[in-house]
Amino acid sequence: MIRLERLRFAYNGSGDVLRLDQFVLEPESNILVVGPSGCGKTTLLHLIAGLLLPTGGSVVVDGQDLSALSPPARDRFRGRHIGIVLQQFHLLPTLTAMQNLLVAQSIAGLAVDRVAAQLMLKALGVDERVDAYPHQLSVGQQQRVAIARALVNRPKLLLADEPTSNLDDEACASVADLLLSATQQHAVSLVIATHDTRLKAKITQQLALPRRPAESGA
Amino acid sequence: MNLLQLAWSYLRARPLGTLLNVLLLALGVGTIGFVLIVNGQIGDSLNRDAKGIDLVVGAKGSPIQLMLAGIFHLDVPTGNISLKSAQELAKDPLIRRVIPLSIADSFRGFWIMGTTPDYIDLYHGALASGRAWNDRMQAVFGATVADRTGLGVGDRFVGSHGLAEGGPIHGDSIYRVTGILKPTGTVLDRLVLVNSESVWFVHEGNITDPEEKKVIEDERQVTVLLVQYATPLAAVSLPRKINSETNMQAASPAYETARLFRMIGVGADVIRAFGGVVLATAALSLFIALYHALNERAYDIAVLRTLGARPVSIAMMLMLEALILAVLGGVLGLLLAHGLAAILASWMARQESIPINAWAVSAKELWLLVPSLLAATLAALLPSWRAAQANISATLARRA
């Protein structure tokens, strides 16, 4: 599902470099990206999502080398094949729960499919609140809608950036279970970047990033 | 849920800001549109009234006053000219037709116009009821006069001297209404038409002594002559000849109207410039709102990008927001322009002045949306560009 080869990413300005020589994630498998704060977990996620481009090496997602795509094609690829869940589970505040899913379909260039969106909300257990605006939803409901939005275009890969870091133990377990069951149900690979050790009990496969070396490298 | 709906959702989410920008745009478009509508209507009206008249001849004085009094009947005449010199002028081979107008009295604020049937023909006037005059002291009412005074065929009335109501009344000279004209959309609607002899009779009284009658008839006067040329060449020599060789004055309606418009035009330009300033303010307000939105929505924009939105789509979303406001503001502005024109029109109608059809809508008015769209586009240009350039990874990392 993901293949990283001799990956290098040089941060702007500083001499810091993210290095990852070899990494492969099999389809329909889960992995935690762990490491100390500032080691580049988010950067790695953004590289896999095509939000950043590597300064060396290649990122291949579902057989597609992201660097080989034009910027618009890369945006489209992301919209159709990669689901992303952010730390705040951020929903667009001016749109209802349903509209948040429909806009994801529309922006990815897919047909707007209200039925599919409704089913995905039902799968996440929030089909009762489809016409509610984000501020009318509980935090838990917002998380579910955000996960439904990330999955509505049937991606093969779901990326989650620190989805549990601000949550108490109960909520943490609930979100982790939600992510795992939803990805399993829809045959999606899951990559979670986190420093939250509580998740290690749920997902055994781990990629540990070392603390970033301070000196510059090639 | 396309970009247009997305843009609209953001506008709906901040109704006050949206309202302010729409109102500012509407005010700018409305002001400019108002000037355009009123200018156009007045111009059309004056052109209709002056159509077919090549030259106005009257007593010496201000040529604009002569034209205002002789054609549009918006001002008092410069004075009178003798019937004899008028008849002399009519013999000139360069002249095809002369229509005399004798203006002295009024009836309830409408001029009583002593003239010939040619005058009615000039404006293609047709009778709605009754018949034309065939003797003195018979009157034909323009459509507006009949409407406002409520008088009909067979009714009698007396004129008062001058235009102001309550002037000295010619109580012993009673007119009878013989006909009512259909509306023509010209100055004819606002006139009481009688034959020239009626005006003379009212002021001379009934004279029986043949000697005295001869003297008085020699001194008869008319106020204005409306002249139609026999040949376009007449424009070259005739006005100069009249102005230099007679004690009369000749004014060209086309030239004097243009001159008048140039004078009023300054006022119109000022109002138009005010509209431009308001529109610029609207653009600035819109720019600030969008620029603000850029910061407020940085994370929303980043989320849209993670969902696969291209930078150009993000720019388009902001541009669409501005354009929606521009269309709303533009349409509201057009309504405002017509509303203002309607207020002016009702005021001018009370003054028996130039009629304005405030609700006449022309397709050309859609051009008024252009300044509105232009202002919005300019305002959205930089915010849109910035939104497209935003570093998504950095925005997401900052919050994370």
pLDDT band at B156 (very low <50, low <70, confident <90, very high): very high
- Please report residues of B whose CB lies closer than 8 A to that of A108: 307-308
DSSP single-letter state for residue B70:
I
CB distance B306–A72 less than 8 Å? no
Report the percentage of chain B scoring pLDDT > 70: 99
8-state DSSP, A18 = E
Instruction: Chain A: give the shortest CA distance to residue B374, in Å.
Output: 27
Q: Is B6 on the interface with A (CB under 8 A)?
A: yes
- Give the dihedral sign, CA B51/B52/B53/B54: positive
State yes or no: pLDDT of B215 exceeds 80: yes
Contact B306 A162 (CB under 8 A): no
Indicate whether A81 pLDDT > 90. yes
Residues B1, A102: C-beta atoms closer than 8 Å:
yes
Tokens of B307: 């969902």
Task: Report the pLDDT value the prediction gives residue B400, as an integer from 0 to 100.
Answer: 47
Selected residue with higher pLDDT from B191 and B207: B191
Question: B75 and B251 in contact (C-beta within 8 Å)?
Answer: no
Tell me, yes or no, whether A216 lies in a domain. no
Contact assignment for A149 to B307 by CB distance below 8 Å: yes
- Asked if residue A216 has pLDDT above 60, the reply is no
- What is the rounded average pLDDT of the residues A67-94? 92
* Smallest CA–CA distance from B11 into chain A, residue: A94
CB contact B17 to A (< 8 Å): no
Alpha carbon distances (Å) from B183 to A123, B81, B117, B129: 74, 31, 17, 12
Interchain contact, A80 vs B13, CB within 8 Å: no
Residue B195 in this model has a pLDDT that exceeds 70: yes
**pLDDT score at A215:** 41
pLDDT at A56: 87
pLDDT at A214 over 60: no
pTM comes to 0.79
Q: For tokens 């604020």, what's the residue?
A: B109
B8 — contact with chain A (CB < 8 Å)?
A: no
Which residue from A minimizes the CA distance to B10? A94
Instruction: Provide the residue range defining the domain that includes A147.
Output: 2-208
Q: Outline where DSSP puts E strands in chain B.
A: 55-59, 81-82, 95-107, 110-115, 127-130, 138-141, 156-161, 169-181, 192-195, 221-222, 224-229, 248-251
The pLDDT of residue B399: 58
Tell me the percentage of chain A whose pLDDT exceeds 70: 95
8 Å CB contact of B393 and A84: no
- How many domains does chain A divide into? 1
Mutate to test the interface with A, among B303, B317, B324 (most CBs of A within 10 A): B303
Q: What is the pLDDT of residues A117-146, one digit of tens each?
A: 999 999 888 989 899 999 999 998 999 999
DSSP secondary structure string for all residues of B87-148? HHHHT-TTEEEEEEEEEEEEETTEEEEEE-HHHHHHTT--EEEE----STTEEEE-HHHHHH
CA A73 to CA A61: how far, in whole Å? 14
Instruction: Say if residue A218's pLDDT is above 50.
Output: no
The one-character DSSP state at B381 is H
Interface size, chain A vs chain B, as Cβ–Cβ contacts under 8 Å: 88
Are the beta carbons of A108 and B307 separated by less than 8 Å? Answer: yes
Q: Taking 50 as the threshold, does the pLDDT of residue A20 lie above it?
A: yes
Residue A80: closest C-alpha in chain B: B308
Residue A116 lies in a domain: yes
B397 contacts A78? CB cut-off 8 A: no
Of B321, B319, B335, nearest to B369 by C-alpha is B335
Closest CA to B338 of B19, B32, B24, B25: B32
Asked whether residue A74 is domain-assigned, the answer is yes
CA atoms within 13 A on the CB side of B388: 17
The B residues from 267 to 306 touching A (CB cutoff 8 Å) are 299-300, 303-306
Does the distance separating the beta carbons of A71 and B304 come in below 8 Å?
no
Closest residue of chain A to B398, computed from CA coordinates: A42
Q: What is the DSSP letter of A192?
A: E
Mean pLDDT across B10-16: 93
Residue B391: φ, ψ to 5°: -85, 100
**Model confidence pLDDT, tens digit, residues B284-325:** 999 999 998 888 899 999 999 999 999 999 999 999 999 999
Residue A214 located in a structural domain: no
Between CA B99 and CA B223 the distance in angstroms is 11
pLDDT band per the 50, 70, 90 thresholds, residue A92: very high
Q: Is the pLDDT of residue A80 over 90?
A: yes
Residues sharing a CB contact under 8 Å with residue B286, sequence separation 6 or more, in sequence order: B21, B24, B25, B322, B325, B375, B376, B379, B380
CATH number at residue A59: 3.40.50.300
Query: Which residues of A fall within a CB distance of 8 Å from B10?
Result: 94
Are A90 and B299 an interchain contact pair (Cβ–Cβ within 8 Å)? yes
- Taken as a whole, chain A contains a residue count of 218
Compute the Cα dihedral for B15, B19, B25, B29 and give only its sign: positive
Beta bridge partner(s), residue B82: B221
Q: Is the pLDDT of residue A88 over 50?
A: yes
Calpha distance B291→B381 (Å, rounded):
10
φ and ψ of A41, to 5 deg: -65, -50
Q: Is B363 in CB contact (< 8 Å) with chain A?
A: no
Name the 3-class secondary structure at B82.
strand
Average pLDDT over residues B381-394: 90
Domain ranges for chain B, please list them.
3-46+260-399, 55-251
List pLDDT tens digits, range B101-142: 999 889 988 999 999 999 999 999 999 999 999 998 999 999
Tell me the pLDDT of chain A averaged across its residues: 88
